[in-house]
Structure 1
Amino acid sequence: MDWDLDVAAPAKPAVSSDGSLSGVARQTFLGTNEVSGADFGQFRDVLNSHFYPASVEPLDGQSSLLSPALSALHLRHMTIAYVRFGAAARVDPGDLTGYHVNVPLRGIVLSACGDQRVSASPRQAAVFSPGAHTMLARWEPDATQLCIKLNRAAVEKELAGLLGHSITRPIAFDLGFNLDHGAGQRWTSLLTTLVQHAHAARDPGHGGSVVELLERSLLADLVTTQRHSYSEELHGDVVSISNREVAQVVELVERAPESPYTVVDLARVAGISARSLQAAFHRHMGVSPMAYLRQVRLERAHEDLKLGRGRVSEVAYHWGFTNLGRFATLYQERFGELPSTTIARI
């Protein structure tokens, strides 16, 4: 799938010692630690207020915490929290009734969902599904995780858009999610970018449309990347469609290319699955839907810059490019010069 969003870095980037997920998460969350001391009961209560009514118990005879940290961001489609107990613990929320991803930044967390078991680590996240008992049997004292509670309706809506029809049963994900290479690394990079944008969105005047687009893209990439009960259908043969559906999408893109579309949005316009739209665009247009959208946006930005309709940053943001460095690169590849060169000739 083509998930090119032109949002590889935030307009107001969080400053961290490195660009890794761990570094960005520390910069984003540690300035607002919600737990003030070593009291285990207080930590449990704050954790449960953000997530689920879970049983949380200390292990190894420890009843106090060493340098605990807990801070949460509540977004439209998910809650993301930075969580470190600083002591061994067991967390038992039972059936979550929704979808949840834990991404360890450090240490090991023994995790279970139904009859599946994994040792979650920085190389392997855990993806939990509804309808099965979830248990974190042992959260090691040094373990730190990004705990991500996903809006169930939003996850299922993204999958339905990719399939081209509503789903009739909950999604049953494989528990272990390999983050070490390929698709898992891409998903981690997208999560890092979302955390950066969400941090910047705390500032007045920073729009939330990019954050929501990133949220939806993270959900879509999860259901595309991680194996689950609909994977065979999702990655199976696509239905051949006519040029009429492609023309509907082309008309929409030409009319309002600045809108924050995802490929699922465009597929809904045509009334087909996202995979069918991808195949049809490659067959009839020679590019993916998102690549075509980017081409149109570049043409509109080029025209505005030639006519002096704003500064480079203003024009780029207006046409949906929030990453100015990437915009400049794409612009130069397409028109043979930097945006600043075009506007300097006015």
Structure 2
Amino acid sequence: MASSAPSKSHWRFSTVPGFFYQSEPSTDASTFDYASSNFGLIPRPYPTDTTLPDSDTKTPWERFAHHIRTLNDTADENTCYKVLFLGRHGEGYHNVAEREYGTLEWDRHYSLLPGTATESWIDARLTETGKSQARTAHNTWAQQIKDGIPTPESFYVSPLNRCLETAYITFSGLGVKGTEPFRPLVKELLRETIGQHTCDSRSPKSAIEAEYPTYIIEPGFTETDELYDPVLRESDSARDKRFRDLLQDVFTNDRMVFLSLTAHSGAITSLLNVLGHRRFELETGGVIPVLVRGERVGGELPEMRVEPWFPVPN
């Protein structure tokens, strides 16, 4: 996995509210439907509407995109704005098993097994329901593109198969730059909580390359999964630190404004936490957009308090 040299500055992140329903405390995550709600875009005027020619004929997405680009054009050199479309993978076989056995028994026993006689949980794959959820995301993007949504300029994806396939079904064939063929960047740090659960171990690099030959795998990505440990599992605070490191990498090296990240429930929980967003649990296949303000500040990155990884429970 690629590592970067210590920097004399770092990024500080915050979520900008007032643009998406998901960031509003009044929105109930358990009933919210991104597919029927324009990904959650709040219909509203923007102060930049007056600088957009024929703004009264533009769609809400077109006016939103103009506003975000204007924010970046007028921001100081140490401030930038990005819109992150965070997508959770569709249902996997491990999700079905957890529902069947219950979370307590899943975490205690079944998640440590390779699977059953009929299905494998190692680097778990999508069920037919999961594939259908990814197709829903594809169709939602296709409709929103007709309505002028700013499409992702960069695509990132977890190395776990359920995300690799979800991203492929979601974005292939949309007819926008970067999707024909679909060429996302596979990022090791974008994976689910690491350790213990066999569904969270990844396939070898060569297997990923063989199944997804158009995908770009980041430099330093190892052939075998050197992060997975069958005995120790990553704590929530360690996972938060990992995703803060990921965001430091993305904001430092990616100048694009609209980004897609296809990941996992735990991954998105940590991303939202690091971004200062309210907790918002996604169903499998769900998508949440977040408007992020990044401020580059001097000095070394402050230390995060990280709890130790814990062993397999008895």
- Give the alignment's TM-score, normalised by structure 2: 0.25
- Give the alignment's TM-score, normalised by structure 1: 0.23
Larger RCO, structure (CA 8 Å, separation 6 or more): 2
CA radius of gyration, larger in? 1
